[in-house]
Amino acid sequence: MTENTRKHSIAKKFTLTAHHDELLDKIVEQRYASRSEAVRAAVQQHAQYLSEGGETDIELLQAELEKVAKEIDTVRQKVEEQNSNTIHVAGQVSDRVEVEEHSRRESEIENKIVKELTEEGPLSASEIAEGIGRDAISVVPVAKSLHEEGIISQVSDSDDKYKLDI
């Protein structure tokens, strides 16, 4: 210890747990000339990681991670909402029929097919395609999928015509 350091040193007593005392001894063995030097270095290093509010960088990172987690939850909820939306179709038998809409790429076409059948009644795949402004090639697989789900059915007198199941 230099003469200048001795003049500015303050003798303090503090208590350590046995575990921390052992850790301090290991630190001194590995790097420092004395226990006091090791304690000063530890205090100095810890002070570098404190923010103005007294939080450590780790605490600040944890707070940021919590914010991000909340944002992810919000996005997840919005996605789940979109995936579980229901469409309301006016029916001829009842005032409203709620049909669960499954999340698929064809959901836009599905909605248009259901709307077209609701407004026009039984139609062939080509008539549906014409009515919704799509080609028959994109309508047929979606109509078949809606048929498999029980949302629409084929008209009994024609394999080519579909109607809305209400």
pLDDT per residue as tens digits for the range 114-156: 888 888 888 888 899 999 998 888 888 888 888 888 888 888 7
CA atoms within 13 A on the CB side of 121: 1
The 10 Å Cβ neighbour count of residue 54 is 7
pTM across the whole model: 0.37
